[in-house]
A and B are shown apart, each in its own frame.
Chain A
Amino acid sequence: MIDLHGYGPRLFEGAMITIQLGLLSLILSLVLGLLTASAKMSRSWALHRIGTLYTTIIRGVPDLVLMMLLFFGGQIGINQVTDWLYYQFDIDIFINVNEFVAGVLTIGLIFGAYMGETFRGAFMAVDNGQIEAGRAYGMSNWLVFRRIRFPQMMRHALPGLSNNWMVLLKTTALVSVIGLSDMVRVAAEASKATREPFTFMLIVAGIYLLIACVSEWGFARLQKRYDVGFGETN
């Protein structure tokens, strides 16, 4: 059996943090992605510009730099705001940027841009006649979105979403650099302490592959569900 030198439980906790971080930032990025896609497709010039600026900047700068900017800069920025509140209005609050929250916010913000591009492409692939038919039935904008545009868009978006999720999962490893004890950080510490880098790094690599495998299976099932009525004839 592999000797983990007592790092087993911490490694497990690290894996849990990785999974939680991944799922929470996935949800945030999906919400941001939908908003960005709507902004970029809207008739409003300002919204379109904001959406484009967001996706361009985020996709042009490395994840790690953005993460450090938001994590190290975020605390100073928040302190300045709370100081200002204190001097101006005598409101005394203290907000400490927690690594986990910072990680979720940064990764969500980064992948919101990628999701936005995926969603935009998928929304544009939905036949316009479908939307017009919905309107002709007297459906409200929201109802058209919920019953017609969203379900049909998902069919086109899923391959892209699956891809983004895989990249997102691997990006969570970067939070170990800003001090969050995810499984990569635990493994790095354990490697240095026990001088057995292969054992710990290979285990972590194996866990990432396992999560990727499970996600692949899950996405295949989702695809099947959204492909109803379009799938191959068999």
Chain B
Amino acid sequence: MESLTTWIEGLLANNDIFTLQTLSYYGEGLTTTVQLVFLSLIIGLILAVPLAIGRGSKHQWIKMPIFFYCYVFRGTPLLVQLYLIYYGVVFIEGIQDTWLWVILEKPFVPALIAFTLNTAAYTTEIFRGAIKSTARGEIEAARAYGMSWWLMMRRIVLPSAFRRALPAYGNEVIFMLHASAIASVVTIMDLTGAARFVYARFYAPFDAFLFVAAIYLCLTFSILYLFRYLEKRLLAHLKPSGQ
């Protein structure tokens, strides 16, 4: 470890901006960004599955609120949603006296809530499309086997819908990574926040932002290749035969 730091220090010897100190800001920023994106995607995914099923329900009172939620969260900028939750949370009556305030005080949790609600809305629409495009024959076959609605969902509809949703969901993951840059606006030190800090300190926009752009580019490509690999594995049965 010691030799590694000296080696990096040697590399950075003639560099005023990229010292070990600033690189550690970027490192912490990377951790925050990955945490924020990963957590919001996981929670959003868990919320989106029941919402997507409900969105296709026959009952208006289930269908309409979910439609409204998706429409509002997909139709307004994430920044507005973030501001609404970040500034709004303070004004909930009496919240500052409860234990919740300890977590909500820091900007991380309001940002996480905003991102989660946003990605859940987009993911719901993606899944709904995938569920809707389930082949009729598969559903009829499941009925013919006497499967209950729940069993049919679990065994037939959802597994194939998840696979079909994979390419669109990959885009959503990349979109979320890029959207997470907004977190820096509410003083979170994510990757963009670190870049803004370095820019402000050294007045070196090119160094600060090009470096962070390169990190984002690497992250984007990693996600892209991960999803390409998953698609290759999970959608192998849909490929034209003879290849």
Contacts and interface: CB of A to CB of B under 8 A. Distances in A.
A198 B91 CA distance: 9
Interface stretch (B59-67, B82-90, B141-149): B82-90
B84 A69 contact: no
A72 B217 CA distance: 20
Interface string B171-204: 0000001111110110000001001100100000
A94 B180 CA distance: 36
A197 B209 contact: no
B64 to A, nearest CB: 16
Interface in B62-84: 71-72, 75-81, 83-84
Interface in A169-211: 170-174, 176-177, 184, 187-188, 191-192, 195-198, 201-202, 204-205, 208-209
Contacts of A73: 205-206, 209
Given A65-B213, A209-B75, A191 B181 contact: no
A201 B88 contact: yes
B191 to A, nearest CB: 8
Nearest to B219: A60
B88 to A, nearest CB: 5
A148 interface: no
B234 interface: no
Contact of B87 (A76, A170, A192, A204): A192
A6 B125 CA distance: 39
Interface in A58-84: 59-66, 68-69, 72-73, 76-77
B221 interface: yes
B195 A65 contact: yes
A212 interface: yes
A92 B88 CA distance: 50
B76 A191 contact: no
Contact of B72 (A192, A196, A198, A205): A205
Contact of A209 (B72, B88, B179): B72
Interface in B112-152: none
A177 B185 contact: yes
A205 B81 CA distance: 8
B205 A68 contact: yes
Contact of A184 (B80, B206, B212, B220): B80
A188 B83 contact: yes
Nearest to A196: B91
B119 to A, nearest CB: 14
Given A61-B178, A204-B80, A209-B76, 19 more contacts: A57-B213, A59-B220, A60-B221, A65-B216, A68-B196, A69-B206, A76-B206, A170-B77, A174-B182, A176-B79, A177-B185, A192-B87, A197-B84, A198-B84, A198-B88, A201-B84, A208-B77, A208-B80, A209-B72
Interface of B: 71-72, 75-81, 83-84, 87-88, 91, 177-182, 184-185, 192, 195-196, 199, 205-206, 209-210, 212-213, 216-217, 220-221
23 contacts: A57-B217, A59-B220, A60-B217, A61-B178, A61-B217, A62-B178, A65-B181, A65-B212, A72-B199, A73-B206, A76-B206, A170-B77, A174-B182, A184-B80, A184-B83, A187-B80, A187-B83, A188-B87, A197-B91, A204-B76, A208-B76, A208-B77, A212-B75
Nearest 5 A/B pairs, CB to CB: A173-B77, A197-B87, A62-B181, A72-B205, A73-B205
